[in-house]
């Protein structure tokens, strides 16, 4: 889970994935995603397998929760959690980052 501002979106040809470049505002749960430290201000390239979704607008900020691709890169599939970011969400997201993972893997 991270918050970031979309810097660019490239949808590419119909049979190939698109890409979004996001400037990281904050990282709350990164799993195995390699995010440069300090995370704030770092850029992250997200693969977009679907040409139409999620709908991302250049210059807008979002809360993003995707997956790791087979190569360990960030993947934002159509079913990814993507909502507009609002500063009021900061406290809730901060609490999320303090929770331990209950997964078994």
Query: For residue range 71-97, what is the model confidence (pLDDT) as tens digits?
Result: 778 899 999 999 999 988 888 888 877
Does any domain span residue 16? yes
Residue 36 has a pLDDT of 60
Does any domain span residue 103? no
Does any domain span residue 105? no
Does any domain span residue 76? yes
- Kindly write down the DSSP assignment for every residue of the chain, as one continuous string: -EEEEEEEEE--STTS-EEEEEEEEEES--TT----SS-TT-EEEEEESSSS-S---TT-EEEEE-EE-TTS-EE--TTSEEEE--GGGHHHHHHHHHSPP----
Residue 18: domain span? 2-98
Q: Is residue 5 predicted with pLDDT exceeding 80?
A: yes
Measure the CA–CA gap between 76 and 82, rounded to whole angstroms: 9
Does any domain span residue 58? yes
Q: Is residue 103 predicted with pLDDT exceeding 70?
A: no
Q: How far is CA 89 from CA 14, 32, 43, 80, 94, in A?
A: 35, 24, 21, 18, 9
38: domain CATH number is: 2.40.50.120
Number of structural domains in the chain: 1
Residue 22 banded pLDDT, cuts 50, 70, 90: very high
Does any domain span residue 32? yes
Compute the average pLDDT of residues 27-32. Answer: 75
Query: For residue range 41-75, what is the model confidence (pLDDT) as tens digits?
Result: 788 899 998 878 888 999 999 999 988 887 778 89
Q: Check: CB of residue 53 under 8 Å from CB of residue 62.
A: no
Residue 102 has a pLDDT of 67
């Amino acid at each position: 889970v991270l918050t970031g501002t979309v810097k660019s979106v490239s949808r590419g040809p119909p049979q190939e994935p698109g890409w979004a470049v996001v400037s990281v505002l904050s990282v709350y749960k990164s799993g195995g995603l390699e995010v440069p430290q300090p995370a704030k201000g770092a850029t992250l390239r997200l693969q977009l397998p679907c040409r139409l979704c999620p709908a991302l607008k250049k210059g807008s900020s979002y809360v993003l929760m995707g997956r790791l691709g087979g190569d360990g890169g960030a993947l934002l599939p159509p079913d990814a959690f993507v909502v507009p970011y609002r500063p009021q969400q900061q406290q809730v997201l901060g609490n999320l980052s303090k929770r331990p993972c209950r997964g078994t893997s």
